A and B are shown apart, each in its own frame.
Chain A
Amino acid sequence: EVQLVQSGAEVKKPGESLRISCKGSGYSFTSYWITWVRQMPGKGLEWMGTIDPSDSYTTYSPSFQGHVTISADKSISTAYLQWSSLKASDTAMYYCARHGVAAAGPDYWGQGTLVTVSS
């Protein structure tokens, strides 16, 4: 069974750093990309970026480039999304999703990680 299990909810202060994770199982981790998606409270889905775990090639949305870093450790089938300096506006639910070839779109999704940034 394909599963993407994300790390738990986080409460942080502005300016702090954070890394959240997404562990894949039930499939060949390096055969699929991992896409990260943001959903702000009461809002829609926003693509943040996509990584190919086989070679760590990453593409970012211009809206998130420079503010987040996406990485992956194929040895433990885990992808990461990290911030070096959080802002209150980063408060959102973050989802990882398995992504086949570009045209295929995300198929299996993680359960989401809620990040709350508040002073």
Chain B
Amino acid sequence: QSVLTQPPSVSEAPRQRVTISCSGSSSNIGNNAVHWYQQLPGKAPKLLIYYDDLLPSGVSDRFSGSKSGTSASLAISGLQSEDEADYYCAAWDDSLNGVVFGGGTKLTVL
């Protein structure tokens, strides 16, 4: 059971928009920044969004992040087949004094 809650899977057609939710609590998302990671099959995770809504250099602006209270969302617009991957949210947890991850969401581009 992960501390942060994500839907196990989402699917959408190419060129459409999809959102992935991430729900936490006051000790993590409510008081700290949220980060999102993309993990392509057989690869290491890659930072996609940091500090709630910032894009690292080189990441497509089709990806965007937002946060409100103890929940956060990742949006992907203009879906492409290469976006098929697992997506994870993460945040520092003040009670745990460590990082908490969501359980991951598998994105399927239909």
Contact B101 A105 (CB under 8 A): no
Contact B51 A44 (CB under 8 A): no
From residue 89 to 105 of chain A, which have CB atoms closer than 8 A to chain B? 95, 97, 99, 102-105
Q: Identify which of A47, A60, A112 gathers the most chain B CB atoms within 10 Å of its CB.
A: A47
Please list the residues of chain A having a beta carbon within 8 angstroms of any beta carbon in chain B.
Answer: 35, 37, 44-47, 49-50, 59-62, 95, 97, 99, 102-112
- Cβ of B2 within 8 Å of any chain A Cβ, yes or no, is yes
26 residue pairs from A and B, CB less than 8 Å apart: A35-B99, A44-B2, A44-B86, A44-B103, A45-B39, A45-B88, A45-B101, A47-B99, A59-B98, A61-B96, A95-B44, A99-B99, A102-B32, A103-B32, A103-B92, A104-B50, A104-B51, A105-B90, A105-B91, A105-B92, A105-B99, A106-B45, A107-B47, A107-B50, A108-B47, A109-B47
Per-residue A-contact encoding for B66-110, CB less than 8 Å = 1, 0 else? 000000000000000000001010111000111111111000000
CA distance A50 to B51 in the complex (A): 19
Given the complex, which residues of A lie within 8 Å of B46, measured CB to CB?
109
Given the complex, which residues of A lie within 8 Å of B51, measured CB to CB?
103-104
Taking the nearest CB of chain B, how far is it from the CB of A38, in angstroms?
A: 10
* Contact residue among B92, B98, B104 (Cβ-Cβ distance under 8 Å from A49): B98
Q: How many residues of B contact A (CB 8 A)?
A: 27
* Contact residue among B56, B88, B100, B102 (Cβ-Cβ distance under 8 Å from A107): B56
Contact A45 B92 (CB under 8 A): no
CA distance A59 to B96 in the complex (A): 9
Instruction: Give chain A's interface secondary structure class.
Output: strand
Given the complex, which residues of B lie within 8 Å of A106, measured CB to CB?
35, 45, 47, 90, 99
- Cβ of B55 within 8 Å of any chain A Cβ, yes or no, is no
* Contact residue among B47, B50, B98 (Cβ-Cβ distance under 8 Å from A50): B98
Q: Identify which of B97, B99, B102 gathers the most chain A CB atoms within 10 Å of its CB.
A: B99
